[in-house]
Amino acid sequence: MLLTNFILFQMAWLACVAGAAKGLPWFGVTVTIVVLGWHLFKAKRAMTELLLIVAALLIGAGFDQTMLSMKWVEYQQHGWSTSLVPVWILALWGSFASTLNLSLAWMQQRYMISVLFGAAGGPLAYLGAEKIGAVSLDGNTSYIALAVGWAVITPLLLHLASHLNGFKVERA
């Protein structure tokens, strides 16, 4: 289950980023909906996982909207208004949330590791997206903002996931 979760997340990430780079922002959204459908189907408590996905999507949307508004990142192919965070970025936050109680669950309660993971992994993901052509970053300021933002968001989402875990069986 953990390996499948990791592979499906990677597929959704690539579909979103490559889709945006190729002018198909809704392609990644479609793939992500399928991935999230499978994820919720496999969850013991789908509504709890859905709540986590929505919370992560809202937190991520706020962060990426700030990045966009500050002009620290420019997104390709929004799928709607260019003044709003792109639809495919929202899909990415949803698919990232699907990893929090599965392939990334080992980081729950390991706050320093999750801070470091976020500080490195967030900027690396955007760098990969930039290399593919889905985003443009505004130099060092962008990378610093991404590192700080992800260093805060990653442990926050993992903490939230530990309380909203649709894969954990509740003991009565």
What are 73-117's pLDDT values in tens digits? 999 888 888 889 999 999 999 999 999 999 999 999 999 999 999
pLDDT in tens, 105-138: 999 999 999 999 999 999 999 999 999 999 999 8
- Specify the pTM: 0.93
High-pLDDT (> 70) share of the chain, %: 98
Residue 171 confidence (pLDDT): 56
Nearest alpha-carbon partner for 92 in 157, 168, 15: 15
Question: How far from 93 is each of 13, 77, 100, CA to CA, in Å?
Answer: 10, 17, 11
Helix axes 46-69, 25-42, angle to 10 degrees: 150
